[in-house]
Amino acid sequence: MASSVYDGTVPAHGNTPRPVIGLEIHCQMTSLHSKLFCPCRADYRGMGPNENTCPVCVGLPGTLPRLNREAVRRAAMIAMTLNCKVPRKISFFRKNYFYPDLPKNFQITQLDMYGDTSVGGRGSVVVGGKTVAIRRIQLEEDPGRLIYRGTSAKNRITLVDYNRAGTPLVEIVTEPDFESPRQVRLFLQMLSDMLSNLKVSDPSLEGAMRADANVSLEGSSRVEIKNISSFHDLEKALKFEIARQEAQYSRGLGIPQETRHWDAARRITIPSRSKEADMDYRYLPEADIPWIRVDDKEIDELRAWMPESVGSRRTRYVDEYGIPPQVADVLSSDRFYSDLFDGARTDENARELANIITTDLMGILGDGGKGGYSGRVTSEHLGELADAITAGRMARNSAKQALREMARTGRRLGEISTGLDRLSDEMEIGRIVHEVISEEPQAAEQVGANPQAVNYLVGKVMQKTRGRADPKITLELLKRSLQS
């Protein structure tokens, strides 16, 4: 009998078939106000057990679901961003199974049983040069959450919290088009950027993104891996499972079709004791929710409302503003920074602005502090800073200090008294002008014959003040001093 635990043997790679991976990704639509079929809050985080419930989401007899239309609209936007078709008629199905986290004993979900009736399908995206086909996008309700207490099987207690039950979920089902965990990682990064960009889901929230994967070696049976609670773990689970299957293959052992669970603590996949793979869910049309019609006008409205995609922003930054591709990648992948950029850019300051945001601002705010500072550093702040540097009124290397002050206090450039702002005191500039003239007698003499030579002296003053001297006043004072 084949052992279920990979013993660590390095398989002999001969002509081992290539891995084939398909994904089912569940994303909670965390930005919606209410659950999918009742008015309870979609964001249940931070609430006491079972506080966020009502008769509908705990499945009391006699209750009826009322569909959150906004959830359909947002799911359709996700579908369109993944180049899927959104059908004009959408329907729901009941997936029947008995489990304590599912109080109705069925989950309301979607399925393409009578043609294309889920919220989107048959799309594709290109990731790292590879085209990945999207089979289906479906809208469904999240079940509740089971919490296990106790150490031994004998003393184990299972608690159930229905706060999450009914939270709107979008499931993205891909074709088995991935060939490596690396491709999967690139796809997940793209998806995560895309969902943040649409402001539909916050992928950083615990449990907001979960995944199941199917993995096989080409020509062998498929293994389903369930229970992967983060994208980080997904890559680890795939690497483990591919190595396990390759080891089985190289030893001439079969790879049975089965469902395995990812054990995050032990970092291995283990065979699932449940019969999930063979389960008959007895899908039935959900008769309590009528067909949803989506007309062309609504699709057009959604398209108009959808933000510019990450890819389109990146192209615009490179083509229109001459921003280097690596900087454009970083800037376009985060909607927060991208919006700050677009709010402040001009044809003149764009490159400097992109630099300030990607090298200085991102370092100061970091991922964690972004939220707290988001209201303080605005496009106006950044625009003024980029203009000052572009016009030579401020030294490039002072930008970070000025930004730090802005993030801390919310003050604008003109209100910051760090000594970084432009030096316009005539006495002070005059003193430096005289210093420069006495240090550069030859250049000072040339100005009479060649008025352009004064620019060299302006440059020297700028050097001494690290770019802070007001160029207009400097020029004026230089001219005056040299005439006298």
Which residues here bind Zn ion, judged by CB under 5 A?
Answer: 38, 40, 54, 56-57
Place of tokens 């890819």: 311
Least distance in Å: CB of 54 to Zn ion? Answer: 3
Please, what is the end-to-end C-alpha distance for the chain in angstroms? 102
Shorter beta-carbon distance to Zn ion: residue 54 or 294: 54
Angle between helices 231-250 and 181-198 (to 10 degrees): 160
Least distance in Å: CB of 9 to Zn ion? Answer: 51
Report the candidate in 312, 299, 316, 301 with the shortest Cα–Cα distance to residue 84.
Answer: 299
Shorter beta-carbon distance to Zn ion: residue 66 or 122: 66
Shorter beta-carbon distance to Zn ion: residue 39 or 369: 39
Least distance in Å: CB of 254 to Zn ion? Answer: 47
Shorter beta-carbon distance to Zn ion: residue 65 or 181: 65
Shorter beta-carbon distance to Zn ion: residue 38 or 399: 38
Pairing between β-strand 209-217 and β-strand 223-228 as defined by DSSP bridges:
antiparallel
Least distance in Å: CB of 52 to Zn ion? Answer: 7
Cβ-count burial 240-253 (b if 16+ within 10 Å, e if not): bbbbbbbbbbeeee
Place of tokens 């240090």: 439
Shorter beta-carbon distance to Zn ion: residue 100 or 451: 100
Least distance in Å: CB of 77 to Zn ion? Answer: 24
Place of tokens 């049975």: 256
Report the candidate in 354, 355, 336 with the shortest Cα–Cα distance to residue 345.
Answer: 354
HSE-CB at 308 with a 13 A cutoff on CA atoms is 14
Pairing between β-strand 223-228 and β-strand 258-263 as defined by DSSP bridges:
parallel
Shorter beta-carbon distance to Zn ion: residue 117 or 163: 163
Q: How far apart are CA 168 and CA 156, in angstroms?
A: 30
Looking at residue 173, what DSSP letter applies? E
Shorter beta-carbon distance to Zn ion: residue 121 or 166: 166
Least distance in Å: CB of 60 to Zn ion? Answer: 10
Shorter beta-carbon distance to Zn ion: residue 57 or 407: 57
HSE-CB at 322 with a 13 A cutoff on CA atoms is 7
Residue 175, helix vs strand vs coil: coil
- Which residues are paired to 130 by β-bridges? 127
Least distance in Å: CB of 141 to Zn ion? Answer: 10
In 29-129, at which residue ranges do the beta strands (DSSP E only) sit?
A: 89-90, 93-96, 106-109, 120-127
In 128-244, at which residue ranges do the beta strands (DSSP E only) sit?
A: 130-141, 145-149, 157-161, 168-174, 209-217, 223-228
Looking at residue 216, what DSSP letter applies? E
Least distance in Å: CB of 35 to Zn ion? Answer: 5
Task: Pick left, alpha or beta for residue 275 (phi over 0 → left; psi -120 to 50 → alpha; otherwise beta).
Answer: alpha
Least distance in Å: CB of 58 to Zn ion? Answer: 7
Shorter beta-carbon distance to Zn ion: residue 57 or 385: 57
CB contact at 8 A, 454 and 447: yes
Least distance in Å: CB of 25 to Zn ion? Answer: 25
Least distance in Å: CB of 144 to Zn ion? Answer: 11
Least distance in Å: CB of 53 to Zn ion? Answer: 6
Joined tokens for residue 316:
């615009």
Place of tokens 């250049």: 443
Shorter beta-carbon distance to Zn ion: residue 56 or 413: 56
CB contact at 8 A, 354 and 362: no
Q: How far apart are CA 285 and CA 179, in angstroms?
A: 35
Number of Cβ within 10 Å of residue 55's Cβ equals 12
Shorter beta-carbon distance to Zn ion: residue 56 or 330: 56
Shorter beta-carbon distance to Zn ion: residue 63 or 315: 63
* Helix, strand, coil content of the chain in percent (nearest 5): 40, 20, 40
Q: How far apart are CA 96 and CA 91, in angstroms?
A: 16
Least distance in Å: CB of 57 to Zn ion? Answer: 3
